[in-house]
C-alpha cells in the first residue's frame, strides 16, 4: 500500500479533481480487489471513476507526482490477477467511459470509449447490419479486451483483438495523451505502437479510446454439435476441415468430463457424454448448406456421430448459451468447489497429443478438471476444481497447471492463448520468450520509469 503521507496527499488531490467520483468506501474497494481468477485479493487505496480522457490524464499526473500506482479496471472478468492492486494505489474504473462515439458504416469500423462492452456495441449495431466479432464469452469491456489481447469463439474466422483493433488513444505514464494507428486498414508508417499496447495489460499506458473493425452480419447461420469417441478424432476432423479450406466461424471442443456436466445441466439438448464439437457456419444460404454438408462428410471419416443441426436463431442461441456457461456447468461437477482456471495454446497439429497428455496429468493429480478448447486455433482451457480451503488440493492444482503450461511450451506453443499474463503466468515469461523477455522489461522501464502503471504484471523492472 502507499505510504500514509503520500496516500493522504493523493486522495486529497484526486478528491479536489473528481469530487464524489473518487471513492475510498470499503465496499467499493472490495469490489476492485480481485478478478474472476484464483489469485489472492488486495484492495486499492482509492477508486477513481473518470468520464473522459482528460480525467484519466489528470489522474495519472497526480499519481505520477507522488509515485502512486495506477491500475485500470473494466468489469473484472480477467482470470490471471490483471486488475489486483498488490502494490496499493489508485484503481481507475473505466466503466463510466462507455459511449459509442461513432460508427463508420462505409469503412466498417466503430470508435468507442474503453468502457463499452461487446454486447453493448453489438446491440447498438443490430439495425446497421454490422457486428463486432470478438466474443470471449464474458461481457467484457472493449478496453479490457484490447489490454489483454482477448479472443474467443469467433477467432478462427474473424481473428483476435490483435487483428480487430485499428487505432487507439492512450494516456501514458506521465499523463501525455497519444494516438496510435488510423482508420486505414493498413499502414507502414513507423513502429506499430497500436499492437504494442494491445496485450500490454495497462503496464505501459491506459487505453481511453479504440477504433475497432466491424464485419457484415452473415446472411445465414447454421450451428451444430457432433460427438466423437476420442479427443484425437474430434481434433483430426477439425484439422482436415481447416486444411480443406472450410470457412468455419466457430469450432469449440468440449471433452467428455465437461459434456457429462452439460448432460445434467441441459437435458433438453440431449447431449452425449463424449468429446463434442460445437460448430457454427456463416455465409449465404447456399454457402452454409454446402459448408455443413462438407463438414458432416469429413467428421464421418473420424467417427463423428449424434449430429444436431440448428438453423433457427433460438436453437442456435440455446447451443451457444450452453457453451458460454461451460465455466459454471463445469463447477457443478464438484458442488461447492472453487476453480483454478488456466489456458494455453499450441499449433493445431499438436493439439490432440497436448490435450491427451493434459488428461493424463489430470488423472495423476486425482483432481477433476474439464477441458474446453477453441480447437480451430489450438487454444484450450482447464477448469481445475478444488475444495475451498484445502491447501493440499490447491497445491496439486497449481502443480497440474504448471505441468500443462510447460507441456504447451514443449509442443512449441504458449502458456496463454487469450487469458493474458497478469501475475498468474508471469513466472513462465522467461521460459517462453528467452532473451526477448528482457526486451519487454527494457520497454517497460523506458515508457514507465516510475513503475506506476499496473506494477508487478507481465514483467518486473527491478
Residues sharing a CB contact under 8 Å with residue 300, sequence separation 6 or more, in sequence order: none
DSSP state of 254: E
Q: Is the pLDDT of residue 310 over 90?
A: no
Q: What is the CATH number of domain 4-95?
A: 3.30.43.10
CA-CA-CA-CA dihedral for 217, 220, 226, 232, to nearest 10: -50
Of all residues in the chain, the percent with pLDDT exceeding 70 is 99
Kindly report which listed range (92-96, 306-310, 448-452) carries the lowest average pLDDT score.
306-310
The domain defined by 220-261+276-313 carries CATH number 3.30.70.3450:
yes
pTM tops 0.75, yes or no: yes
Q: Give me the mean pLDDT over the 167-188 stretch.
A: 95
Q: Where in the chain is the domain with CATH 3.30.70.3450?
A: 220-261+276-313
Q: Is the pLDDT of residue 437 over 90?
A: yes
Average pLDDT of the chain is 94
Q: Where in the chain is the domain with CATH 3.30.70.2740?
A: 334-422
pLDDT at 298: 94
Distances in Å between the alpha carbon of 330 and those of 250, 322, 334? 21, 11, 8
User: What angle in degrees, to the nearest 10, is found between the helix axes of 231-243 and 348-365?
Assistant: 170
Q: Where in the chain is the domain with CATH 3.30.465.10?
A: 100-216
Q: How confident is the model at residue 462 (pLDDT cuts 50, 70, 90)?
A: confident
Q: Where in the chain is the domain with CATH 3.30.43.10?
A: 4-95
Q: Measured between alpha carbons, how far is 187 from 164 in angstroms, rounded to an integer?
A: 14
Q: How confident is the model at residue 4 (pLDDT cuts 50, 70, 90)?
A: low
In this structure, what C-alpha cell is assigned to residue 342? Answer: 488456466
Q: Give me the mean pLDDT over the 46-71 stretch.
A: 98
pLDDT at 324: 87
Pick the CATH number of 334-422 from 3.40.30.10, 3.30.450.70, 3.40.1120.10, 3.30.70.2740: 3.30.70.2740
Q: Is the pLDDT of residue 38 over 90?
A: no
User: What angle in degrees, to the nearest 10, is found between the helix axes of 231-243 and 285-301?
Assistant: 130
CB atoms within 10 A of CB 303: 16
**H or E element in which residue 416 lies:** none
Q: What is the CATH number of domain 100-216?
A: 3.30.465.10
Q: Is the pLDDT of residue 206 over 90?
A: yes
Q: Measured between alpha carbons, how far is 112 from 384 in angstroms, rounded to an integer?
A: 36
Amino acid at each position: 500500500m502507499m505510504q500514509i503521507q503520500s496516500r493522504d496527499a493523493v486522495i486529497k488531490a484526486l478528491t479536489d479533481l473528481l469530487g464524489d467520483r473518487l471513492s475510498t468506501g470499503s465496499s467499493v474497494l472490495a469490489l476492485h480487489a480481485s478478478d474472476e481468477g484464483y489469485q489472492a485479493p488486495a484492495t486499492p487505496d482509492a477508486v477513481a471513476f473518470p468520464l473522459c480522457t482528460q480525467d484519466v490524464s489528470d489522474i495519472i499526473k497526480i499519481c505520477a507526482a507522488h509515485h502512486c500506482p495506477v491500475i485500470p479496471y473494466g468489469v473484472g472478468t480477467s482470470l490471471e490477477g490483471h486488475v489486483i492492486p498488490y502494490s496499493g494505489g489508485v484503481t481507475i474504473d473505466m466503466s463510466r467511459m462507455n459511449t459509442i462515439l461513432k460508427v463508420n458504416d462505409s469503412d466498417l469500423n466503430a470508435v468507442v470509449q474503453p468502457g463499452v462492452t461487446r454486447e453493448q456495441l453489438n446491440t447498438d449495431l443490430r439495425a446497421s447490419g454490422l457486428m463486432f466479432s470478438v466474443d470471449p464469452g464474458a461481457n467484457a469491456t472493449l478496453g479490457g479486451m484490447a489490454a489483454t489481447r482477448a479472443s474467443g469463439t469467433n477467432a478462427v474466422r474473424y481473428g483476435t483483438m490483435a487483428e480487430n483493433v485499428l487505432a487507439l488513444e492512450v494516456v501514458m505514464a506521465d499523463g501525455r495523451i497519444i494516438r496510435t494507428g488510423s482508420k486505414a486498414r493498413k499502414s507502414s508508417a513507423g513502429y506499430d505502437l497500436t499492437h504494442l499496447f494491445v496485450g500490454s495489460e495497462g503496464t505501459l499506458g491506459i487505453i481511453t479510446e479504440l477504433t475497432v473493425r466491424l464485419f457484415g452480419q452473415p446472411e445465414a447461420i447454421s450451428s451444430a454439435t457432433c460427438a466423437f469417441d476420442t479427443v484425437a478424432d474430434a481434433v483430426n476432423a477439425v484439422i482436415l476441415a481447416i486444411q480443406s479450406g472450410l470457412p468455419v466461424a466457430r469450432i469449440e471442443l468440449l471433452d467428455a468430463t465437461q459434456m457429462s456436466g452439460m448432460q445434467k445441466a441441459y437435458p433438453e439438448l440431449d447431449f452425449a457424454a463424449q468429446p463434442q464439437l460445437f460448430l457454427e457456419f456463416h455465409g449465404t444460404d447456399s454457402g452454409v448448406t454446402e459448408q455443413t454438408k462438407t463438414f458432416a462428410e469429413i467428421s464421418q471419416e473420424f467417427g463423428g456421430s449424434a449430429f444436431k443441426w440448428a438453423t433457427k436463431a433460438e436453437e442456435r442461441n440455446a447451443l451457444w448459451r450452453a457453451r458460454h456457461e461451460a465455466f459454471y456447468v463445469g463447477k457443478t461437477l464438484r458442488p461447492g468447489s472453487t476453480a483454478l482456471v488456466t489456458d494455453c495454446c499450441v499449433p493445431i497439429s499438436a493439439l490432440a497429443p497436448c490435450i491427451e497428455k493434459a488428461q493424463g496429468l489430470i488423472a495423476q493429480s486425482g483432481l477433476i478438471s474439464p477441458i474446453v478448447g477453441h480447437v480451430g486455433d489450438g487454444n484450450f482451457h482447464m477448469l481445475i476444481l478444488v475444495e475451498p480451503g484445502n491447501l493440499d488440493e490447491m497445491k496439486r492444482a497449481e502443480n497440474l497447471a504448471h505441468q500443462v503450461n510447460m507441456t504447451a511450451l514443449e509442443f512449441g506453443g504458449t502458456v496463454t492463448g487469450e487469458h493474458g499474463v497478469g501475475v498468474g503466468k508471469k513466472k513462465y515469461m522467461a521460459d517462453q520468450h528467452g532473451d526477448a523477455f528482457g526486451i519487454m522489461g527494457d520497454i517497460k522501464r523506458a515508457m514507465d520509469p516510475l513503475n506506476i502503471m499496473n506494477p508487478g504484471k507481465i514483467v518486473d523492472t527491478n
